Amino acid sequence: MSPFPNLIPTPPPMKARSLVYDLKARLDWGEPALTIIDVRDRNLFNTSHIMGSISMPMNELIDRALPSLVLSRDLYVYGEIDEETAEAATKLRTAGFENVSELRGGLAAWKAVGFPVEAIPYTVIGN
């Protein structure tokens, strides 16, 4: 055992329900080995989403998550409202994902504290 047990910092542990500060602390840690999933409608995702999140709308969630994500990966999921987030987390856990955290408050909470967001630019064709 090391004589300096607190010398090497560790990232905060993952919880079943997380605040935006918990996720931001993981991201600030660097190379956090996690995936942020936005289960809202793709148009809402394109308008604004948590920087680095991926779009997996609720109706495609399990069909897209199973072939592309490792079951032991840390997943942070958010929807339009906390009830949608909880539903998505339940689906992921039922499908076998071991480390799923519901991001309380979702995008609104993330924006409210000034954390980074991004959008998908679109081009108007015509005229």
Reported confidence tier of residue 6, pLDDT bands at 50, 70, 90: low
Q: Which residue has the tokens 């289960």?
A: 39
Per-residue pLDDT tens over the stretch 31-40: 668 999 999 9
Task: Tell me how far apart the alpha carbons of residues 79 and 74 are, in angstroms, rounded to a whole number.
Answer: 17
Residue 109 within a domain: yes
Domain count, the chain: 1
Residue 103 within a domain: yes
Residue 122 within a domain: no
Per-residue pLDDT tens over the stretch 82-112: 999 999 999 999 999 999 999 999 999 999 9
Q: What three-state secondary structure class fits 106?
A: helix
Per-residue pLDDT tens over the stretch 59-85: 999 999 999 999 999 999 999 999 999
Cβ-based neighbour number of residue 56 at 10 Å: 25
Residue 108 lies in domain: 17-115
Domain harbouring 46, CATH code:
3.40.250.10
Residue 123 within a domain: no
Residue 67 within a domain: yes
Residue 124 within a domain: no
Q: The whole model's pTM is what? A: 0.86
Q: Assess whether pLDDT exceeds 70 at residue 8.
A: no
